[in-house]
Chains A and B, each alone.
Chain A
Amino acid sequence: MPLKIVPDNTNIGFVKLRYLAFALTLLLTLGSIGLLATRGLNLGVDFVGGLTMEVAFPSPPPLDRLRGEVGSLGVGDVSLQEFGNARTILIRLPLPPGDQAAVQRVVAKVQADLKGKYGNVSFRRTESVSGKVSQELIRKGALAVLLSMAAVALFTWFRFEWHFGVSTVVALVHDVTVTLGFFALTHLEFDLNVVAAILTIIGYSLNDKVVIDDRIRENLRKYRQMDIGPIIDLSVNETLPRTVMTSLAMITALTAMLLLGPDVIFGFTAAMLLGIVVGTYSSIFVSSSLLIALGVKPKIEPLAKKTGPSINVERARR
């Protein structure tokens, strides 16, 4: 007999927990905003412009000494960061004033200096992004995130009802904010890859919510006598095995990517992994329960009016 990760016929009262969940969500969101405001994001050259070199040394270099050495070349503020392992260092420099020839000179200077002092170093990657381009990348990235959210809201509105659109977008805003907060907290580099991850989180989290929304709509039609609270509980419980199973599969795949995958996309994978966890949480606890607060009602349902506003009704299903 195949294994069952979630037992049959669960009956967990998610709706009952909703004020707790709302409070936690609010806390997480505000905390993330606070972190973003105080610590800020460690924006990569993609978004602030500048010069990055990924350099692999034969043995782990002493960071303080390296910082001093590169700094003494007169190439501006140096920032160093270990990248994946202690031998690989990411050197960040400001873009030198002037044209591309100046950038080239800086790169050549640093390369020659490091080769002279550390011997067999390999320059794995060099990136330079001008201020103008980085601003465009920020704008395009933000636009992509906002447009996806808007598209999602419109789609769920047309496909379901406006309540679903609102609750989904609220939960998505939470997912994205918490992910951003995580990046503010860890100061992992925030680059274009991470924006791609955020877009994916939106897509995935959405998937989760649509599956549950789909079930809620189905049950609203099926059980016209039932109140909205129990219907939501029933729907979330019915879809729980699927939610857990899919999240587990995703987490498995992403963990493999995080542990074994290339260092360059570590931030990307970390963002995605966190996003999946947060997205699953918000699908189960937040977006569906939010429907009650928004006052979604079973269609063509005379009984609902007699029992008063559905927000006050929280009777158990049985």
Chain B
Amino acid sequence: MLGFPNWKVWTILATLVLGVIFAIPNFVPASTLRSMPSFVPTGTLNLGLDLRGGSYMMLEAATDDVRKQKLDSLEETARTELAGADGGPVKYRDLGISGNAVSLTVTDPTTLDRAVETLRKVTRPVGNLTGQRDVEIAVVDGNRVTMTPTDAGITSATNSAMEQEVEVIRRRIDELGTREPTIVRQGDNRVVVQVPGLQDPSALKALIGKTAKLEFKLVDTEADPAEVAAGHAPAGSQILPFADQPGTVAVKRRAMITGDQLVDSQVGQDDNGSPAVTFRFDATGGRRFAKATQENVGKPFAIILDNKVISAPRINGAILGGSGIITGNYTTASANQFAILLRSGKLPVELKIVEERTVGPDLGADSIRAGSLAAGTAVIAVALLMIVTYGRFGVYSVIALVLNMILIIGVMSVVGATLTLPGIAGLVLTIGAAVDANVLINERIREEQRKGRGVIASVEVGFRDATRTIWDANSLNIIVAIIMFLFGSGPIKGFAVVLSIGIATSVFTAVTVVRLMVSRWLTSARPKALAI
């Protein structure tokens, strides 16, 4: 038990040295770290938002919207596909959405097979093993065709929508120039955004909360103004409010063009020198835009953002070159925000903030100060208690305790774990756990001594018997820590991370390292009695 082969000693020492090396960057100013050559480890502990200040936001996507959008696009697809079907257009009636399906009735029963064939072509396989497709096509009542999105299809659509959401949010936050935001998807339909150092999240929220769906639609000039004011839209039209003035306007449901093909948007100036927003389409978008404007010269059209009409200018002539300008009552700031939204792309589905936490920098600083003071005091108080109670063996456990702290910091730096306020409390608790291992060992040694065993035998039996108990107790604690990590949220997770790392390192330092120190002392000093 007390014999240590050389390789073991070296492994233990190497582990400790590595721990120290990885922990050091945390105590060196950031400017020094940057000037270090690349082989020097520079990873530091991430401080949680509760310690450094910043904003945390959890956003939830309305997944129902995914289904709705899927149905809308299915309806549109059915219309275009059947019109351009192989062997001539298929005639149909009653095309529409009912419940969870798009359905239509084929007018000529002999074209039914052709209709089904055409529609089936646009479905895609999802989950490549099962052979399931994203849309199920069925024939009911002889000549009625239904297209129902499958659950797997909705799941895969939601998945890709969420991936896109994260991407769009990242682009928008990057535009704000904030440092190191973390944007991660959580669960099926959530995104967690964390921006350290951000004190006033209102600008961020204004950016994240907007879908930024840009559409150009023709104004329905034939609509009866009285009917429009009463909220009744003619068939094929819809009534939309203005963004920054009272009143509504009727526009055609079908968009001339949407913002999907925008490649750039910047702040510009209108003819009067007021701030405005410029935009540019890609090549295909530009051609479509030119064609659409050419066909509708002289008619007013509406520029619509998130179902609100920004302006409704008249098309004076074909707009060639694929770029244009949107004017309105903009300040430079609001024009800039609008431009950011346009160039970062639209969110596939709307996001709502369901949880938000903002910590000011002074509270964070206070927490760090109070936390380190408390942790430091705790270490010193426990160290005194251990030394007074166990003498030399107490000193060994205190050395182990300090090494343990360094190792925890080192491991957390290497894996990039985040230290939160509950994490600091976890650190304090780890002190307890580490001390407990040494207490167990020392008390066992005392017991064996009382039974009249010699020095070496007492120490050997003490370590052997206590180690079994320490393993039992710590494996249980690891189980609890893992459960905390898996099922806990926020602070509980931060706590569990420190606790699990701490349990592992404390067994190593409190048992292995202390045993090494004790065995060295026993072999060199050969004490006749143990003062323990």
Binding site for B on A (CB under 8 A): 1-5, 8-9, 54, 56, 99-101, 103-104, 108, 122-130, 132-133, 136-137, 140-141, 143-144, 147-148, 151-152, 155-156, 159, 192-193, 195-196, 199-200, 202-204, 206-207, 210-211, 214-215, 218, 238-239, 241-242, 245-246, 248-250, 252-254, 256-257, 259-265, 268-269, 272
- A264: which B residues are within 8 A, CB to CB? 50, 363, 367, 421
CA distance A124 to B50 in the complex (A): 10
Q: Which residues of A contact B495 (CB under 8 A)?
A: 196, 200
Q: Tell me whether B377 and A256 are in contact (CB under 8 A).
A: yes
In the complex where A140-B489, A147-B487, A195-B492 touch, is A262 in contact with B202 (Cβ < 8 A)? no
Closest to B187 in A: A136
On whether the beta carbons of B435 and A249 are closer than 8 Å, the reply is yes
Q: Kindly state whether residue B472 has any CB partner on chain A within 8 Å.
A: yes
Flag if B484 contacts A253 (CB, 8 Å). no
Q: Report the Cα distance A261→B426, complex, angstroms.
A: 13
A-B pairs with beta carbons under 8 Å apart, 10 shown? A122-B362, A129-B355, A144-B487, A155-B479, A211-B469, A215-B469, A242-B436, A245-B389, A269-B425, A272-B429
Complex CA gap A159/B366 in Å reads 45
Q: Which residues of chain B come closer than 8 Å to A99, judged between CB atoms? A: 209, 352-353
List, in ascending order, chain B residues with CB within 8 A of A272's CB: 425, 429
- From A108, A210, A245, A256, give the contact of B439 (CB < 8 A): A245
Rounded to whole angstroms, the CA-CA distance of A123 and B364 in the bound complex is 12
Segment among B10-18, B23-31, B227-235, B380-388 that sits at the interface with chain A:
B380-388
Residues of A within 8 A of B209 (CB): 99-101
Which residues of chain B come closer than 8 Å to A254, judged between CB atoms? 378, 428
In the complex, the chain A residue whose C-beta lies closest to that of B468 is A214
What 3 A-B pairs have minimum CB-CB distances, sorted nearest first?
Answer: A261-B374, A253-B378, A124-B363
Chain B interface SS verdict (over half): helix
Check B352 against A100 for contact (C-beta < 8 Å): yes
Are A245 and B443 in contact, CB atoms less than 8 angstroms apart? Answer: yes
Using CB atoms, name the residue of chain B closest to A129. Answer: B355
Question: Could you tell me if A137 and B483 are in contact, using CB atoms closer than 8 angstroms?
Answer: no
With a 10 A CB-CB cut-off, give which of B377, B389, B480, B499 has the most chain A CB atoms.
B480
What is the CA–CA distance of A192 and B424 in the complex, to the nearest angstrom? 15
* A48 CB → nearest B CB, Å: 13
Contact A100 B353 (CB under 8 A): yes
Q: Does the CB pair B439–A242 fall under 8 Å?
A: yes
- B360 within 8 Å of A (CB atoms): yes
Q: How far is the CA of A253 from the CA of B479 in the complex (A)?
A: 24
Cα(A138)–Cα(B56), bound, Å: 19
CA distance A218 to B476 in the complex (A): 19
Tally B residues with Cβ within 8 Å of A. 78
| Shortest distance from the beta carbon of A83 to any chain B beta carbon, whole Å | 11
Contacting residues, chain A, for B50 (C-beta < 8 A): 264
Distance between Cα atoms of A238 and B443 in the complex (Å): 9
Contacts of B354 in A (CB 8 A): 129-130, 132-133
In the complex, the answer to whether A260 meets B439 with C-beta atoms within 8 Å is no
Knowing A125-B359, A148-B483, say if A257 contacts B532 (CB, 8 Å): no
In the complex, B473 has a CB within 8 A of chain A: yes
Separation of A123 and B472 alpha carbons in the complex (Å): 46
The smallest beta-carbon distance between B58 and chain A, in angstroms, is: 7
Contact B531 A123 (CB under 8 A): no
Which chain B residues border A260 with CB–CB below 8 Å? 370, 373-374, 377
In the complex, what distance in Å separates the CA atom of A123 from the CA atom of B370?
19
Closest to B431 in A: A253
Q: Is A253's CB under 8 angstroms from B381's CB?
A: yes
Shortest Cβ distance from residue B77 to the other chain A in the assembled complex, whole angstroms: 32
Contact A262 B488 (CB under 8 A): no
Chain A residues contacting B389 (CB-CB under 8 Å) are: 2-5, 245
Give min CB distance, B287 to chain A, whole Å. Answer: 38
B443 and A196 within 8 A (CB): no
**Contact of A103 (CB < 8 Å), options: B356, B431, B489:** B356
User: What residues on B are CB-neighbors of A130 within 8 Å?
Assistant: 353-355
B:349-403 near A, CB below 8 Å: 352-360, 362-363, 366-367, 370-371, 373-375, 377-379, 381-382, 385-386, 388-391, 394
Please give, as numbers and ranges, the residues of chain B lying within 8 Å of A241 by CB-CB distance. Answer: 443, 446
List the B side residues contacting A141 at CB < 8 Å: 488-489, 492
Bound-state CA distance A130–B355 (Å) is: 6
Residue of A nearest to B482 (CB): A151
B421-A100 in contact (CB<8A): no
B313 at the interface (CB under 8 A from A): no
Q: Which residues of A contact B388 (CB under 8 A)?
A: 2-3
Q: Which residues of A contact B436 (CB under 8 A)?
A: 207, 242, 246, 249
Chain B residues near A215: list those with CB within 8 A. 469
